Structure 1
Amino acid sequence: MLKEIETERLVLRPFTEADRAAVVAIQTDPATDRFNPAPPAPADGELLFDSWLAHWAEHGYGYCAVRERGGTEVLGLAGVRLRRFRDERVLNLAYRFAPAAWGKGYAVEAAGAAVGWAERELPELPVLISVNVANAPSLRVVERLGFTRYEEEEYEGAVSRHFRR
């Protein structure tokens, strides 16, 4: 079970109900959804958050709230969640940060820590990430994390590249 992951600057920890408003705001912010062909409405963001809490309850890991070390504000989310991709069980890597946290390298730092945890604790499950081809900032993060592109297709309403480690 994942308790907390610390990096040089960040802490990743399980979501709590107290994180709901901040996480839903990040998930539904038009700036964070600019590459999403079907951005979630606030009600959809609430349902996503509920599903993430349920994943934690069932599996003991999942997407995490991310804050600066010594801070209390939720800057974003990062982590892995079990899903099926085609006929394979994989860990889906996700990261998303509030616009105020952009440009500081937090996505690489947090996602890298999440991948490291997954590779140590769940080595039997490959880590996969799907990125909209128009999302150049996220594609740079994936490249810096050492993922390998293995497929491109229309996925969830946009042309996406699938990467794995």
Structure 2
Amino acid sequence: MRLILSDPLASFADVFTDIETDRLRLRPLTEADRQAMVDIHTDPRTNRFNPAPPGVKEASEMFSGWLAHWAEHGFGYPAVFERGGTELLGMCGVRLREFHGEKVLNLGYRFRPSAWGKGYAVEAGRAVLAWCARELPAVPVLASVSIANKPSLRVAEHLGFTEYTEEMYEGAMSRHYRR
């Protein structure tokens, strides 16, 4: 089903449903995911390229913001699981943001270290980008990655992003990719 709206950023409540790939299931975040997401986002290994890693309070506040985005727009950063699994591996999805005065979808992904090196970020990212192309085709998708974060840069490139600009973003020199 493709939504045709005069405003491409109008509310999309109840639009996002679970997405399954060959190996993964992506579903909307719920309050029950809070502790796992806080643990992932405060793990020093997942923050090695973050100049200002969040503490527990900041990670919990980020999570609350993500739930609010889901409530307002009907999409956001989904929780990612192996198909048939119960351990939350991480998140991969899009949220609205403004970049240089333009409304864009920010692609974000972060996985627990035990999920690294398995291609999950690329697999989940492809599924999310296909959803964006179907449901929000008029809104550009950006990925902002610290230039020091080589693994994340490779994910963006595997997803077909091309370099848009480099500048400081959230305290680090970052490469901004666009699709």
Unaligned segments of structure 1, at least 5 residues: none
Identity level (%): 66
Structure number with higher strand proportion: 1
Deviation at 1:98, TM superposition (A): 0.2
1:95 aligns with 2:104: no
Unaligned segments of structure 2, at least 5 residues: 1-14
Q: Please point out which of 50, 56, 59 is paired with 1:36.
A: 50
Letter in 2 for 1:112: R
Alpha-carbon distance in structure 2 between the residues aligned to 1:45 and 1:155: 18
Q: State the match for 1:124 in structure 2.
A: 138
SS at match of 2:47: coil
Letter in 1 for 2:66: W
The structure with more radius of gyration: 2
TM (norm. structure 2) is: 0.91
C-alpha RMSD of the superposition: 0.6
Alpha-carbon distance in structure 2 between the residues aligned to 1:12 and 1:109: 11
Letter in 1 for 2:37: V
Letter in 1 for 2:165: E
Q: What pairs with 1:20-59 in structure 2 (closer than 5 Å)?
A: 20-59=34-73
Deviation at 1:128, TM superposition (A): 0.2
Q: State the match for 1:3 in structure 2.
A: 17
Q: Provide runs of 4+ in structure 1 moved above 2 Å.
A: none
Q: State the match for 2:165 in structure 1.
A: 151
Alpha-carbon distance in structure 1 between the residues aligned to 2:54 and 2:125: 22
Aligned residue-pair number: 165
